Each structure stands twice: as C-alpha cells, then as structure tokens.
Structure 1
Amino acid sequence: MGDLPNASQLANTLVGYHNANGDDWRVAKNMKDVTVWRKPSEEFSGFLYKVQGIVKDIPTRIIDYIRPGPYRLNWDSLMTSMDIVKTFDEPGCCMLRYTTAGQLWNIIAPREFVDFSYTTDYQNGLLSCEGAPAHGLLTGYIQTDLRGMLPQSAVDSAMASGLINFFVDLRRALIV
C-alpha cells in the first residue's frame, strides 16, 4: 500500500473536516432527522460529503454498530463485503477494504474501496449526546472519487441517498 499517513494525521484531517467553515457546505439531501451536505474536496476533483442525523440509542451501542466489525455487514445494505486490512495503534482506527452494492439500478456498478475508518466514542462533536440520555447526534464524512464516465448528478444522487440509507439501516438495526 506504499507509505500511509499515520492514524493521528488521518484523524486530524477528519477533525479538520468537522471544523471546516459552514459556509462552504451545500445541502445535497435532507430527510427526517438526517441531512447530507457536500463541498468540493481539497484532496481531489470530487466532493467531500458530510452526513448528520439523530440516532435514538446510547452512544456506546451506536459506536459498536457503525465501526468496522461483526455488526456492520449484518445491517449496512450498501456493503456486500468487508475486510480490515490494517489496524493502527490508536483505538478505533483501521484501514478496510469493502465492496458496495450497485446503485441507481446499477448505473453505478458495485465497486471496491479501500478506506480509512476512524470511529470514536466522542471527539469534538463527531458523536455527541443530546439532551435525552439515549440519543446521539452522529456526524460522518466520506469522500469518494468514483471516476469513470459517471455524470456528477448521478454520483451526487447516489452518495446522498446512500448516506441517508445508512441512517435508515442503522436505526432499523438498533431497534432489534
């Protein structure tokens, strides 16, 4: 995989996304208690997506379900396979390879990604407890350069819908 930045550098990048100027974000999709925004990526020619929503459960249980591991493949309808390829010394940090299902009637074919995952119990508001004891405000960031001949509007629609579905699937899994 060549030289990888260390986990602290990657985590700091993620926190930097979280602290980015709010004026740069544009709403991509909004659904009950979940909003997806996007802004041009500073790393490549695509977009950085931010998703934020309310999840009704205790934060430690939410974390158990969203981090890469045994629960994730059972409920995340977008993922069809997942392997952790590298773990870091910092807890909650890993590099993973996963395959996604096709989207938009397979206009966007199933694809394989290598991704950095940083999941933390609480870090500068990335997952924070709301006024109710069993509610969390979950914020996630993803940037994906899908490349190919895909129209940007199809990518935007698929990314926004996929991120909304992540919350729908997560909420359904936590009810069980």
Structure 2
Amino acid sequence: MDPAWAAQTGEAVAQKVLRYRRDAAGWRVCRENDGVSVSWRPSDEFPGNLYRGEGVVWGTPEEVWDCVKPVAGGLREKWDENVASFEIVESITDTLSVSRTTTPSAAMRLISPRDFVDLVLVKEHEDGSFSSSATHVEHVSCPPKPGYVRGFNHPCGCLCEPLPGEPDKARLVTFFHTDLSGLLPRTVVDAFFPRSMAAFYANLRAAVRSARH
C-alpha cells in the first residue's frame, strides 16, 4: 500500500471522527442504560446509520485504552464478543496499519460471520486522550475468505478521554459506522447495533476491572 496515500487517508478519517465528536446535531438516542448512551443518525457514506456510544469507565485513560486499542494479541480479543480475531496485515508506520478483523455470527445466527479489512490510525494526544480511527480498504493479501461475508467499515473509531478532576475514570466515545453487507433485513441491523454497543460497554467495564485486580 502506498504510504503517502495511506497517511493522507488515515489523517482524513481521524479528522472526520473528531467532527463526529464535536457535532451535536441530528443525533437521536436509541438506548440509555447504566450510564451508557447510544444514539444514531443517518450515514452520509452509505444507506445505513452512524452510531455513537458514550459512557464513563472506572479506570485511568491508559488502563481503558489498553483494553480497547486495536493491536494483534491485545486484550480486546479476549473480552469483545464481536471480535473473533484481529491481525495486522501491513504495518505502514508505528501508528498506521492495515488490519483484518473477523466477527462471529450474531443475532441468533441471523448475522453470519463477517470479516473487515481496514486502514487504522492510532493517536496519543497532548491532552492525555487516545484515539483510533478506521475505514475500509482493499488489500492484495486479504481477498474475500470462504465462510465470511465481507463487511465495510466507513469512517469510524473511538476516543478515550480523561475526566478533569477524576484521574481514575475515563470517558469512552465510540462511533460504529458499519455496512454489514449481505441480504440482512434492515430491522435486524437496526436492532443489532444498539444492543451490541451497550454490551460492548458492559464487557469493557468488566475487562478493566479484571485488569486492575
């Protein structure tokens, strides 16, 4: 993959995710529970929705980020029920890579296993926050794989932010922007994401607690 194109694309996606974070317009809350809010608005990228999750996690930003960050062999493969495997296909720089993620079947097997190939940019910011942003790409070493439906992540990512005055807590804001592909009924997709994102936060909180003890 051309490093200059990848760097330019990765930075453009990171800026788009920051715009999602700052833009409060148009979001509709679809699920609120246990301090986690999930909202959505129509995507500008495909005929589906962009979802935003927000919640506070007990743990320093570094501890929370260790559980969330997209690295091969990392903690996320252990606790995130929507990640069956995560591998780095090509490392372009220390912070920019092409990854392949596989997901298990879901929604009582109505959603069959998927795989996603993404350009991923990870950043550590001066204010003590961390972020990752991603978008789908094609890669010569990752053709469609038998047994998986190829899904497509549009500009998406997460931001792990410190809470002023509360060093043992972090705010995690996530953006899921996924075209699952296949012939899935819209009702199945619309029900899956809010429930899945709420479970993501519950499982993350448990993972951080476990890592701290």
The TM-score with structure 2 as length reference comes to 0.73
SS of the residue 1:85 aligns to: strand
From the CA coordinates, give the structure whose radius of gyration is larger: 2
Q: Is the 8 A contact 2:52 2:176 kept in 1?
A: yes
Bigger strand share: 2
Q: Once the 2 structures are TM-superposed, how far is the Cα of residue 9 of structure 1 from its aligned partner?
A: 1.2
1:154 Cα shift? 1.2
Q: 2:167 aligns with which of 133, 137, 148?
A: 133
Report the Cα offset of residue 30 of structure 1.
1.6
How many residues are aligned here? 174
- 1:44 alignment counterpart: 46
Q: Find the residue that maps to 2:193 and give its secondary structure.
A: helix
In the TM superposition, residue 90 of structure 1 has moved relative to its aligned partner by 6.6
Q: Check the 8 A contact 1:81/1:98 in 2, yes or no.
A: yes
Give yes or no for the alignment of 1:54 onto 2:56: yes
Relative to structure 1, is the Cα distance of residues 118 and 36 closer, same or farther in structure 2, using a 3 angstrom cutoff? farther
Question: Residue 6 of structure 1: SS of its match in structure 2?
Answer: helix
Q: Find the residue that maps to 2:167 and give its secondary structure.
A: coil
Letter matched to residue 41 of structure 1? S
Tell me whether 1:114 sits opposite 2:117 in the alignment.
yes
Query: Structure 2 CA distance, aligned partners of 1:86 and 1:14?
Result: 22
Native 8 Å contact 2:26 2:41 kept in 1 = yes
Question: How far apart are residue 28 of structure 1 and its match?
Answer: 2.1
The aligned runs of 1:24-103 (5 Å cut-off) are 24-69=26-71, 70-89=74-93, 91=95, 93-103=96-106
Cα RMSD between the aligned structures?
2.3
The 1-side partners of 2:28 and 2:52 are apart by 10
- Structure 1's unaligned 5+ residue stretches are none
